[in-house]
Amino acid sequence: MASELSLETSQGGGATHILGIFTVFNCLPLLSVLGLRSSNLQSPKNNKEHHTSEIGSERLFVRRAQAFVITLNFDRPFHAATDKVIFTAETGPQPTESLGTKVRFVPSKARDANHWSVFDFSTYENSLQVSLSSPAHAIIGRYLLKVEISQPSGQAKSFQLGEFILLFNPWNSEDEVYLPSETQLQEYIMMDYGFIFKGHENWITPWPWNYGQFEDDIIDICFEILDKNLNFLNNPSKDYSQRNSVMYICRVVSAMINSNDDNGVLQGNWSEDHSTGVNPLEWNGSVTILRQWHATGGQPVRYGQCWVFAAVMCTVMRCLGVPTRVVTNFRSAHNTDGNLTVDMFYDKRAEMVPWERRDKIWNFHVWNECWMTRKDLPAGYDGWQVLDPTPQETSRGVFCCGPASVKAVKEGDIQLAYDTPFVFAEVNADEVIWLQDSGQVKEILSHNTSTIGKKISTKMVGSDKRQDITNSYKYPEGSAEERSVFMKASRMLLGPTGSSYPYMERMRTAWFQEKPVKLQLKLARTPEWGQDLAFFLRARRLQGSEMGIKQLLLHVWLSGQALLHGGNAQTPLWRDELSFSLVQGEEKELPITLPFTHYKDQISDEKLIRLSGIVEIEQTRRKLLVIKDISLELPHLIIEVFGRAVVDKKLSVSISFTNTQSEPLQNCVLMLEGSGLIEGQMTINLGTIQSGDTIQAEVDLLPTKEGSRQLQVLVSCEEVKEIKGYKDIFVASASSS
């Protein structure tokens, strides 16, 4: 008798290659069951081929739908004719085949794209080398790999081969995160530093950040985050079974970066009091935050704001293999009632007054975009998707946001999942400013259709420059396409009447005739923190305005307020009044000074001041509004690197800083961070820096990784929290020195 098995062998080069079908005759002598002496997961070789060697070479990190090679060493030669092998890969706390968390697979001629595969066997003496591969829809996570070896006689033994981690694979066209650009993959997966753009639409500041997704232990912390999410705590097996979906992973991570529903990574704090934690402005990168969260057993780290939430999520998603970038939307609306209108209120003395409604306009808001295929949506909505870990509103009962297709936002297709109406409003809402007196809305001061969603920014690929991606989110302001999309979304949200807007009747009856005077607040010189602010009010009477009045008499109330990140303002730190007149076509410039003594102890950490003016025309009692936001320029750091940077060789760096203001800076601390340059964070106490003094700190670094690196530097004092700088450093390999 003979039996047919699924393999055949061929000899060549001293090794036996097992190729296809062969026949076994029962007259062959029975052999003892193979004993496994050792296994080699070939981590250095596999990790390099799977773009994971930056994580390390001691453990195996592989990507979906891509083969990896392992070697098994037995106590005798492997005989394909009699030694039957079955491989098992298990993930999760209670792996089962029914949920896909346990898979058993046998040798085949070639890789099967739809199933786990083991193929391409070759033997040499007592060793067996095989290739393994997962399908593109496999669950990501930690796996235990086993092999069971048996003979026709029924004897069998099972051996553990080791553990490996399986990640998304944006290099493979079968994976739902496939990104067909090597240049973009180097930026959105492999780049472990970058910039977050902050400040104000007219003073955009690049904020260096250490993502550090390949630092030791970060990948384990990323999976710890997944293992502490609410879905896992409620039903661990079901949670693991859904980890094959990038949409599921994105929503879980978005919820877990904040701590509103769970023991997430960061606790938000938008007040000016951060005494029980770290001021969000004082973080340099994600690594310190993630390690602190892990070290405390998953207690939320204090504190974060939008850019910190988004930066940490970028670290986690890039580590897991999802192309991710950080995006800043300047003048970002938080529209809670879905009417696409955000209302602001001023009193007659030009003070922006607090409002009870939750609507607001952030000076800037930062979120993430992740690249993926959207199989749940109609064709055309693949690509970049908005994910926002900042806890603003709940999504299906949990504080998370997205994924919302950027294309759907641009086209006004707000009916598509997830949270598209909210994101659409962030970049498209109208701003309406009202005059309020004794708590009552009196009249409309302005209705702005193009002041929300400005200069949407991200880091340019392969460059330190800013890339404006506003056109990805909306058509040009005022264009026919933009207004058409806005009306399309409005009809879906409000219906034909727009009845959910409480001031709709006032809007319809508002006095929208052309303003008789054009007003501007203009800076006279660069606004430096620590100096008096010089600006002027430019007023020009338009030809043909108020024809019955020869000379317009105008009275101006001016106010300066520290602007908070959430768009609200503190009580006025400065007020002024002035009067003047204008005849037809006349223009005047009136100089104004806001002294440093008025704002030095009252300005917020954001270092933003809103100058507002209410101009009343005496003859008509009509009121006009003029606004100017000022971002104060902070002192600069000078960073110098001496010599050539080489792995495992000392590198000297100098950081110098001059206190240019008229008063001392107290309790100054220098903090340095940079993956591949510094292990963790380096902190140096600088003490008090007197007015006019220059401090210089000399530090020695010991680079551990080659390639492009970035040193992030922060000087934080009681008076100023965010004097930041950076230095790009290329590190050569040790062998090239």
Tell me the C-alpha to C-alpha distance, in Å, between residue 393 and each of 178, 314, 362. 30, 20, 15
663-691 pLDDT tens trace: 899 999 999 999 999 998 999 999 999 99
The response to whether 428 counts as a known ligand-binding position is yes
Helix (H, G, I), strand (E, B) or coil at 232: helix
Known active-site residue 400: no
Which residue among 142, 167, 192 closes a domain? 167
In the block, which residue shows the tokens 């800043």?
A: 328
342-353 pLDDT tens trace: 989 999 999 998
Known active-site residue 112: no
Residue 610 contacts residue 561 (beta carbons within 8 Å): yes
Confidence (pLDDT) at 1: 37
CATH number for position 719:
2.60.40.10
Answer yes or no: is 527 within a domain. Answer: yes
- pLDDT at residue 45 is higher than 90: yes
Task: Label residue 12 by pLDDT band (50, 70, 90).
Answer: very low
Answer yes or no: is 1 within a domain. Answer: no
Phi-psi domain of 297 (left: phi exceeds 0; alpha: psi -120 through 50; beta: other): left
Q: Would you state the torsion angle of the CA atoms of residues 402, 403, 406, 410, taken in this order, to the nearest 10 degrees?
A: -50
Residue 156's contacts (CB-CB under 8 Å, 6 or more residues apart) are 33, 148, 149, 150
Find the domain containing 77 and state its range.
Answer: 36-167
Residues 518 and 436 in one domain: no
74-83 pLDDT tens trace: 999 999 888 9
Residues 463 and 535 in one domain: no
Residue 452, both tokens: 């929300």
246-300 pLDDT tens trace: 999 999 999 999 999 889 999 999 988 999 999 999 999 999 999 999 999 999 9
Residues 339 and 235 in one domain: yes
Q: Round to whole Å and give the CA distance between 109 and 183.
A: 34
The response to whether 430 counts as a known ligand-binding position is yes
Tell me the C-alpha to C-alpha distance, in Å, between residue 407 and each of 326, 429, 472, 474, 564. 17, 17, 7, 9, 31
CATH number for position 479:
3.90.260.10
Peptide bond into 403 cis (omega under 30): yes
Percent of the chain's residues with pLDDT above 70 = 93
94-140 pLDDT tens trace: 999 999 999 999 999 999 999 999 999 999 999 999 999 999 999 99
Known active-site residue 306: yes
Query: Whole-model pTM?
Result: 0.93
Nearest residue to 166 via CA among 270, 317, 321, 370 = 321
Confidence (pLDDT) at 514: 75
Q: What is the mean pLDDT of residues 158-164?
A: 96
Residue 700, both tokens: 């020695």
Write down how long the chain is: 737
The response to whether 482 counts as a known ligand-binding position is yes
The response to whether 477 counts as a known ligand-binding position is yes
Residues 258 and 357 in one domain: yes
Question: What's the distance, CA 159 to chain centroid?
Answer: 42
Residues 142 and 128 in one domain: yes
Residue 105 contacts residue 118 (beta carbons within 8 Å): yes
Residues 90 and 203 in one domain: no
Which residue among 503, 523, 543 closes a domain? 503
How high does pLDDT run on average in the chain?
91
Residues 627 and 641 in one domain: no
Residue 205 contacts residue 197 (beta carbons within 8 Å): yes
Confidence (pLDDT) at 179: 98
Q: Round to whole Å and give the CA distance between 579 and 177.
A: 62
Residues 623 and 645 in one domain: no
Residues 333 and 444 in one domain: yes
Confidence (pLDDT) at 661: 84
639-658 pLDDT tens trace: 999 999 999 999 999 999 99
Residue 382 contacts residue 367 (beta carbons within 8 Å): no
Answer yes or no: is 10 within a domain. Answer: no
Answer yes or no: is 6 within a domain. Answer: no
Of 306, 314, 370, 400, the active-site residue reads 306
Residues 427 and 576 in one domain: no
Answer yes or no: is 124 within a domain. Answer: yes
Answer yes or no: is 176 within a domain. Answer: no
Answer yes or no: is 654 within a domain. Answer: yes
Answer yes or no: is 432 within a domain. Answer: yes
Residue type (1 letter), 284:
N
Q: Round to whole Å and give the CA distance between 286 and 312.
A: 5
- pLDDT at residue 379 is higher than 50: yes
Residue 611 contacts residue 599 (beta carbons within 8 Å): no
Residues 62 and 200 in one domain: no
In the block, which residue shows the tokens 């669950």?
A: 139
Q: What is the 3-state secondary structure (H, E, C) of 507-534?
A: HHHCCCCCCCEEEEEEECCCCECCCCEE
Of 192, 388, 419, 629, the active-site residue reads 388
535 versus 604: the higher-pLDDT residue is: 535
Peptide bond into 240 cis (omega under 30): no
Confidence (pLDDT) at 19: 44
Confidence (pLDDT) at 153: 78
Nearest residue to 625 via CA among 455, 438, 432 = 432
Residues 625 and 520 in one domain: yes
Which residue among 474, 503, 532 closes a domain? 503
Of 51, 365, 565, 598, the active-site residue reads 365
Domain count, the chain: 4
168-189 pLDDT tens trace: 999 999 999 999 999 999 999 9
